[in-house]
Structure 1
Amino acid sequence: MWIPIQLNEQSAEPMYHQIEVQLRALIVSGQLAEGTLLPSIRELAQTLKCSVITIRRVYQDLENEGLLRTKQGTGTYVAKVGDEMRDIHRRSSVIEALEAAVDAGVRVRCSDEEMMEMLRDILQRRRNANGT
């Protein structure tokens, strides 16, 4: 099975984190449905050109969060994600991205007002692009 994960080798984010964030988003958004069999650790590592240890860590982290389950001898599957858990993960991924954006703004000394204006502009552009 092909999983649409894109890695940025130039990113300061560790590879395992990039993979984990994207795989979590695919599960939480429902793009990977409950019961979906994921590629084996070796297979995904080969596809993404990274180490088996990296993928093992991602799978273990997501299993600890309750998003994946592993059956010995059969593989790793997407676990059932309830609405409450889905909302928690959905919100936390947006909060994490917003915190990174705020950190970037603070580093270049943007004021709170400038950052709020940028957020409003981005939201408006997205609404216009989506016709909403």
Structure 2
Amino acid sequence: MSGRSVVRVVLSNSAGVPLYHQIKEQVGTAILTGELAEGSVLPSVRALARDLRISVITTTRAYTELAAEGFIATVPGKGAYVLPLDSELVREQLLRQVEDGLQTALDAAHRAGLRRADVIGILDGLLEAESQDANR
């Protein structure tokens, strides 16, 4: 196992999202992006709860859900560490992020009164711009 990792978790009471879910999402994203590498040791449940000034029950729930989704493993007496990412798990998580982003875009498009062709035109324009940036 690697050394202890610094996990940056920022909680918001006004987000309308449960604190455990905010922790789970932020740690999961850090793992998916490689910010937290395989084998990284996470703060203990108690240490994270103390640092965030929240209940141990909240951090335990976040870690339990991360373990259930295959992101981390907890070893009694040794703590929690990042598991190797299963490529299918990574693909599913990234696909979910794409779907969420596209749904948000579609909701905005509907509010703006855009038609299907308008939305496809915008997406094509963004993809073309990205392609040109990659070729520079």
Structure 2 counterpart SS, 1:35: coil
Query: Percent identity of the aligned residues?
Result: 33
Q: CA RMSD in A?
A: 3.0
Counterpart of 1:18 in structure 2 is: 22
The within-5 A match list for 1:41-56 is 41-56=45-60
Counterpart of 2:12 in structure 1 is: 8
CA 1:113–1:45: 2 relative to 1, 3 Å: farther
Structure 2 residue identity aligned to 1:111: G
Structure having the higher Rg: 2
5+ residue gaps, structure 1, are: none
Structure 2 counterpart SS, 1:55: helix
1:5–1:23 contact (8 Å) kept in structure 2: yes
Scaled by the length of structure 1, the TM-score of the pair is 0.76
Scaled by the length of structure 2, the TM-score of the pair is 0.74
Partners of 2:104 and 2:20 in 1: CA distance: 18
5+ residue gaps, structure 2, are: none
Partners of 1:67 and 1:26 in 2: CA distance: 10
Partners of 1:63 and 1:3 in 2: CA distance: 16
Counterpart of 1:116 in structure 2 is: 119
Output one character per residue of 1:27-84: Cα deviation in whole Å (capped at 9) or x when no partner: 1122111111100001111112221111111100010111111111111111111222
Structure 1 position 16, deviation (Å): 1.6
Structure 2 residue identity aligned to 1:34: E
